[in-house]
Amino acid sequence: MPEVMVKGTKIHFLEKKAQAPDPKGKVVFIHGSGGNAGLWQRVMDGLAGEYHLLALDLPGHGRSEGLGMKRVSEYRDFLKDFLNALGLERIVLGGHSLGGAVVQDFTIYYPATLRAILLIGTGARLRVLPEALEVTRQMAEGKIEPRFDPWGFSAKASPEVLAAGEGEWAKTSPRVRYHDLMACDQFDIMKEIEKIRLPALMVCGREDRLTPIKYSEFLNSKIPDSKMEIIEGAGHMLMLEAPEALSGAILSFLRSLDSLRADY
Ligand code: COA
């Protein structure tokens, strides 16, 4: 499994190199709260071939060392160091939920590093239900037993999909999960989102209860060069609930960039 040292912290990532001799570009994926790179595996399988694909475990998540961070801005600056460590530039950056918040903030601060962005099940403000934050805090402090909550999934999600979600959820500590939710709760760039001037794709599940379609519609209305796709029958956890539909939406967006821009 590939790893890279980022300012003294060992960071794990998944990588799928393009099969074509002349790759069309690089795409880097960032998971959401309490997630890890493995959540992107099936989406990466669906995209394999034309692009060089990477997905990282944020610090303290999955197999990466370090502690989780409490602010999106800290993840944004960590991401800059990660991309520098691997010499990645002119990439397409994609993120889900908290990862999508990191992508938005990164795009405002470091637009020159990017070619386009993918905002999946996310929003420009990510207030968390106070009760959910409190329960997560109590789990982090060991006051109650960690318990997986399927609220992020559509009510129609199969037991297999829920089991896969629970398996990934268990790979990150309760404390890091709590800090991630704190970072979401404090995130609000509703007034800054218009600064984003890169091509953007929004994807949201029709039944997303954590970042409802309204959040993606807001992004779509504020980012001039944007497209939005809604995935029917899926909730917030699109990478597990609808990986084929998600990779299909991403692939057609990437190909539209290819056909429009000769410098990609
Ligand atoms: N994009 C567009 N609109 C947004 C938005 C976003 N990212 N975030 C909030 N809004 C809207 C809300 O829909 C609401 O609009 P309304 O007044 O027309 O109903 C308004 O802005 C204020 O919303 P919010 O800042 O969220 O405060 P609130 O006190 O109304 O609600 C919660 C707080 C926690 C109940 C609510 O945010 C919620 O249900 N969140 C989703 C559940 C959750 O925990 N998600 C986790 C995110 S990772």
Q: What is the pLDDT of residues 216-243, one digit of tens each?
A: 999 999 999 999 999 999 999 999 999 9
Crossing angle of the two packed helices 174-186 and 98-109, in degrees rounded to 10 = 50
* Structural domain that includes position 80: 3-260
157-188 pLDDT, tens digit each: 999 999 999 999 999 999 999 999 999 999 99
pTM of the model: 0.96
CA-closest residue to ligand 1 atom 3: 215
**What average pLDDT does the structure give for the chain?**
95
pLDDT of residue 48: 86
111-146 pLDDT, tens digit each: 999 999 999 999 999 999 999 999 999 999 999 999
> For residue 238, what is the domain's CATH number?
3.40.50.1820
Strands 3-6, 114-120: pairing kind: unpaired
Ligand 1 binding pocket includes 184 (Cβ within 6 Å)? yes
Counting ligand 1 atoms within 8 A of each CB, the residue from 98, 104, 105, 125 with the most, and so the one to mutate, is 125
pLDDT of residue 260: 53
Q: CB within 8 A of 63, min separation 6: which ones? A: 1, 12, 36, 57
Total domain count, the chain: 1
